[in-house]
Structure 1
Amino acid sequence: MTDSDSSQLRHAAIEGARCVVVKVGTRVLTDPQGKLDRRRIESLAEGLCQIADTGRQTVMVSSGAVGAGMGKLNLDRRPTDLAKLQAVAAVGQADLIQAYEKALAGCGRHAAQVLLTRNDLRRRDGYLHVRNALASIHELGAVAIVNENDSVAVAELMTTFGDNDRLAAQVAGLLDQALLIILSDVDGLYDGPPDATGSRRIDLVKSLDEEILGLAQDHRSTLSKGGMSSKLSAAKLATAHGHSVIIGPGRDDAVLEKILRGDSIGTLFLPTQRTLRGRRRWISGSAEVEGQLIVDAGAARALRENGRSLLAIGIHAVQGKFNAGAVVAIVDHDGNEIARGLCNYPSKEVDRIKGKISDMIAGILGHRPYDSVVHRDNMTLRI
């Protein structure tokens, strides 16, 4: 592919985006002492407003609450005790949103704080409520500043940079025709360790296959490449939802302006040809999995290769207790997850009809509202 072709694809991805979700992590937002870099907030706010001024819905998924709290409390080191981390995050969250508000106000806009936990997106009604709230914030001309609720989110706090990459992909999944921009402490995805002689930045990724994912996994010990595996996983989720993704240099003060202009900066990931929409997008990216259905080899092959619905005859075992309508994981005998979907029957009934042909369901249960246990229209193959 020529540089001209790559440039055209970049411009098409940007011009086709009605929404832009920008994710910035702790390493970009903090100084060497781990405290909030307010000058960085100001440059990011300017870029966010430039995007918003084009009429696009603009959302920032931001880490940095702990760094802000450290600065506010004059702490020299990041606490290691969980309770203290939660307290520092609670203090810092107020300071973080104030920093965004001050910076955005200088450009004529306001910051709207949106704190989320995973549970907010796991239920379909909560998922839709968050989407509607983000739409209303946009209608008011404000910029949504989204963060995982660090004061209660244990998994996020116990790492230097947590699951905000996936959170950003899930937020992008709420929106239509979105571009996800993940700002990193490296310039993009490299074909080797970023600081090694001869390593080159990859400008365009058409397909996030195992070879591309291996570029992060093979060099996980390299300090400057920390977190790339998480970013690629987020990019894989977002591209499956039909969104383009750019991983770019967060420490470039003009990075958002350059991306908006279509400059060759960072790495562009193109969406997959078959993308998930509506309820299937929620099932794949956000819904809480309440149980497992273990299937035989024939059912696994039918799901993977033919896109079939899951019938009772292919189910070998049921794990967990759940009601009808719950999201379940469908796994093979080796424990590999094949798909997720909405189960038409509660676990106690699936356990009674597993291994039986569909014509026998009514005789066993006294009713047969569905021929399939999980219908293909309510199922997503794992990405």
Structure 2
Amino acid sequence: MEPVVTPNMPDLVRQQLAADADPLVVKVGTRCLAKPDGSLDEEQVLQIAEQLVKIGAGTTRHVVLVSSGAVGAGIGLLKLTERPTDLPSLQAAAAIGQSHLIEAYNRAFQQHGLLAAQVLMTADDINDRRRYLNLRNAIRALFEYGAIPIVNENDTVRTEELARTVGDNDQLAAMVTNALSAPLLIILTDVEGLYDGDPADENSRVIGMVESIDEKTTGLAVTGTKRGGPILSKGGMQSKLEAAQIATHAGESVILANGRRPNVLVDLMAGEPLGTLIPGQGGRVAERKRWIGFAAQPIGALTLDAGAVRAVEKKGKSLLPIGVIAVTGIFDKGDLVSLIDESGEELARGLTNYDSTDMTKILRQPSEAIAGLLGRSPYSVAVHRNDLALVRDPDPS
């Protein structure tokens, strides 16, 4: 499918998106907050805070800020010339920079009579259902107190495995958006949006709207930048499109825009056609299925034959063992697994009724054979449809 793109979005449509955006999630990237030498740009922190206050003034809108910049701030304070590559040094830079970053936000919001609330997360907080719900409830409680949640990945304590699981703050912002059922996620970066070429090329133009994210769209995610200086961040436009895919598949809309543009948040919330809008796909997804499909990360995978793919994806049916042709990874009953087709493409995620050992014994077998193979038959399905969420758009053919 060719990506549908338009130079601008009608103001009334954007205005309606902004009006419905409660809560609103804003993600600001490291390059939006760093000076060319890598140190924290406190004036930019002030500007971001002032804009968040303005878009909430006179309304009941709640705002969550997902902010990168801790590692970058630490790099600046330590006077390093580039981002460390080993985990202990990254953790040290994050520990030093995080306190500096949150202090800057707190000073900025205190000027408006508000408090900044530090919320540090790891992959475990997303993957564990109870902790995921506690996190959501904690953020909602902060809303009631009138505080501004400042969310960041807990770089100081994460392991390499957890770092790979979460990805970066772009994905974290999408997960927070889904957890709160926030209608709109604004991702601020150091370019105007998604370009039809390299942002450094003066002939490239910003794409006003992308109706869906596919291979054609992701091919536009070039890594060029208009700013120099040390390498401080680990994201890029590819990461932002992956985050947008997480949010839009659950029904939320995403805008990619330039965080260095004066009053960008105020103008976006007024419906100005800035940046790149990626509207939500289809209807809103139920909260539990948001967690299954777009928050928690799979431990293993089940490969489905063509018949099982059709049953799960097009007919909304449960996954039967007879439709499973391969098992990948080691997992327990109740763990989240990917459901993939024979080409290796993920179509859904679900909570398995059987561990990997038992699943290997009953794959390709009819449900009535389970008792004879395992000595028991607690479930007739491998993954029940109520514990399953689609993560790709079904082929209409």
TM-score (structure 1 length as normaliser): 0.91
Summarize deviations over 1:11-59 as a string: whole Å, max 9, x none.
1111111111110111111011011000000000011112333221211
* 1:97–1:157 distance in 2 versus 1, CA, 3 Å: farther
Q: Is 2:18 the counterpart of 1:9?
A: no
- Higher mean alpha-carbon deviation, 77-86 vs 202-211, is at 77-86
Report SS of the residue matched to 1:364: helix
Q: Is 2:302 the counterpart of 1:293?
A: yes
- Distance in 1, matches of 2:342 and 2:84, equals 43
- Distance in 1, matches of 2:195 and 2:42, equals 29
Which of 267, 270, 273 aligns to 1:264? It is 273
| Structure in which a larger fraction of residues adopt helix | 1
- Distance in 1, matches of 2:50 and 2:161, equals 27
**What's the counterpart of residue 327 of structure 2?**
318
- Higher mean alpha-carbon deviation, 88-97 vs 299-308, is at 299-308
- Distance in 1, matches of 2:95 and 2:37, equals 19
Which of 27, 30, 35 aligns to 1:23? It is 27
Report the Cα offset of residue 259 of structure 1: 1.2
Report the Cα offset of residue 126 of structure 1: 1.2
- Distance in 1, matches of 2:15 and 2:61, equals 15
- Distance in 2, matches of 1:82 and 1:18, equals 37
**What's the counterpart of residue 231 of structure 2?**
none
Report SS of the residue matched to 1:306: coil
**What's the counterpart of residue 347 of structure 2?**
338
* 1:157–1:302 distance in 2 versus 1, CA, 3 Å: closer
TM-score (structure 2 length as normaliser): 0.88
* Identity percentage of aligned residues: 47
* 1:29–1:108 distance in 2 versus 1, CA, 3 Å: same
The residue type paired with residue 352 of structure 2 is C
Aligned length: 378
- Distance in 1, matches of 2:310 and 2:354, equals 22
Q: Are the equivalent residues in 1 in contact too, given 2:9–2:208 (CA < 8 A)?
A: no
Report the Cα offset of residue 155 of structure 1: 5.5
Q: Are the equivalent residues in 2 in contact too, given 1:33–1:77 (CA < 8 A)?
A: no
Q: Is 2:52 the counterpart of 1:43?
A: no
The residue type paired with residue 288 of structure 1 is Q
Report SS of the residue matched to 1:98: helix
- Distance in 1, matches of 2:363 and 2:159, equals 37
Unaligned runs of 5+ in 2: 228-234, 393-397
Summarize deviations over 1:280-320 as a string: whole Å, max 9, x none.
11111221322222222332343334333210111123233
- Higher mean alpha-carbon deviation, 66-75 vs 6-15, is at 66-75
Q: Are the equivalent residues in 2 in contact too, given 1:72–1:95 (CA < 8 A)?
A: no
Q: Is 2:142 the counterpart of 1:137?
A: yes
Q: Is 2:338 the counterpart of 1:329?
A: yes
Report SS of the residue matched to 2:10: helix
* 1:154–1:252 distance in 2 versus 1, CA, 3 Å: farther
Map of 1:328-367 to 2, 5 A cutoff?
Answer: 328-367=337-376
Which of 159, 184, 189 aligns to 1:184? It is 189
Structure with higher RCO (Cα < 8 A, 6+ apart): 2
Q: Is 2:282 the counterpart of 1:273?
A: yes
**What's the counterpart of residue 252 of structure 1?**
261
- Distance in 2, matches of 1:308 and 1:81, equals 46
Report SS of the residue matched to 2:155: coil
